[in-house]
Amino acid sequence: MRVLVADKLSDAGVHELEEHFDVNVRTGLSKPDLIAEIGQYDAVVIRSATNIDADVIAAADRLQVIARAGIGLDNIDVAAATARGVIVCNAPQSNVISAAEHTVALMLSLARDIPQAHASLTSGNWDRSAFQGVELHGKTLGIVGLGRVGALVAQRCSGFGMHLVAYDPYISPERAAQMGVELVPSVPVLCGIADIVTVHLPKTADTAGIVGEDELKAMKPGALVVNTARGGIVDEEALHTALSEGWIAGAALDVYESEPTTESPLFDLDNVVVTPHLGASTSEAQDKAGRMVAEYVRLALSGDFVPSAVNVQVSSGIPETVKPFMGLTEKLGRVFTALQDGPAPELTVEYRGKLADEDTQILTLSAMRGLLSGICGEPVTFVNAPLLAEDRGLRVSTLSARATHDYVSLVRLSAGDVAVAGTLVGPSNRERLVEIWGFDIDMEPSDHMVFFRYSDRPGIVGLIGGRLGEAGINIGTMQVGRHAAGGEALIAMSVDSAIPEDVVEEIAETIGSPEARQIDLES
């Protein structure tokens, strides 16, 4: 598989990609060149310089994953990628420490006039009285967004003896209190009480301009503003007015509404400290980001779940008790499709036993992925599985029940009279099929399996075994299930290689099987 690295990536990240894939590093591609090239690749890795918009995605016939070596996703059309079944992932934890430390560095630089003092001294002036700063100790820090970076900033500023307040509607007061932070109900309230306001939010329609003219007017004359999150979260025009007219004392910015930029009215002000988006610019952060996205690309192109995928309909963090069931559940979906005669209008996924108490969203997606992979002409991913199901009119529902009788946990897929169930056994989580077409069995799923329904009578096992032997097919395991002697029965077998279809049909005719299904999980 081929991977395009379209922006500067750490050597560590490139080397890890090269261990698994054919990697082409081509930075600085224009949009027309990118559109011309992208169709050759299964994955593209970018940072902030390259835009992957709907036009690029439309030209990417092979593309399975877009990986951003950083936190932001504003240069990726996530909706267009989702519609094409392309996984979009980032490296959300890679630069949080660097970003938090840069925030504190800007805060200290702003509070102590360090850049201005440096420029003055290197220009030949020894002017100590011109640069009287303020201490952070005892000041109130207002944090807008108490996520990963915001929490790290709070932790570090607590060491300065600052009083910490924050606005974040998604953090509970109890969790904030554990961090030593007092929650406030709104951004205007926060701005009114803080000596320094720092912003740590993603840029969305709701957060753009969240610190605007009204919020800046509510601040103290000596207050400071720091933004290392995304340009435009602090309204730059309003900020320029606030700084020029003395509403606030100063601002430090690492991000801008339009990037890259070397011109802004803010750059002409003496009470502003600016850096060119350096929040993630440490060797440690770049190495972590490169290694993270290399691993996530490997997972995505292997068909595994990507923890940082932003367009997968599953909550973040898969419980350790759930992860081992992902492969089994996908196999159950593929077996179900093979057993089903024609398209199923609905599917019920049941979780029994301990699984009933877990978040099983990813297992439902795994089941859908397996079920659809046998009937779709395009790759089925965790991203596009719900869309493909909707396109085919497939309704998926889930049930949970704590009782399983014989098993600690069980996954069961059913629609009408077709059902398949499986479980994991032993400390190594061995996969077992335990129900096919309503018959109890106990067999390990394999790459090649075949199932025959028939009327129970002597000699059937010998007939099937003999014919497979003549065809050169070796039987791995065989299970017989029946409801009663002489009634309907099932033979389930795993074999070492695919059985020719004419052999399956011949066996079915010989034993009078109304339903015979061969399943090839290897394809």
Catalytic positions, written as ranges: 230, 259, 277
- Token pair in block for residue 149: 């970076």
10 Å CB burial of residue 270 (0-12, 13-18, 19+) is exposed
Q: What is the DSSP string of 331-364?
A: HHHHHHHHHSSS--SEEEEEEEEGGGGS--HHHH
Please check whether residue 506 is in contact with residue 450, taking contact to mean a CB–CB distance below 8 angstroms. no
- Token pair in block for residue 208: 């753009």
Q: Residue 300, Cα to own-chain centre: how many angstroms?
A: 10
Phi and psi at 120, nearest 5°, equal -65, -45
Q: Express the helix, strand and coil content of the chain in percent, nearest 5 each.
A: 35, 25, 40
User: Side-chain half-sphere of 274: how many Cα atoms within 13 Å?
Assistant: 18
Q: CA dihedral in degrees (349, 355, 358, 359; nearest 10)?
A: -30
- Token pair in block for residue 281: 């610019």
- Token pair in block for residue 344: 């199923």
Please check whether residue 278 is in contact with residue 102, taking contact to mean a CB–CB distance below 8 angstroms. yes
Residue 493 CA to residue 507 CA, distance in Å, equals 13
Q: What is the DSSP string of 424-453?
A: EETTTTEEEEEEETTEEEEE---SEEEEEE
Strand partners, 414: 348, 419
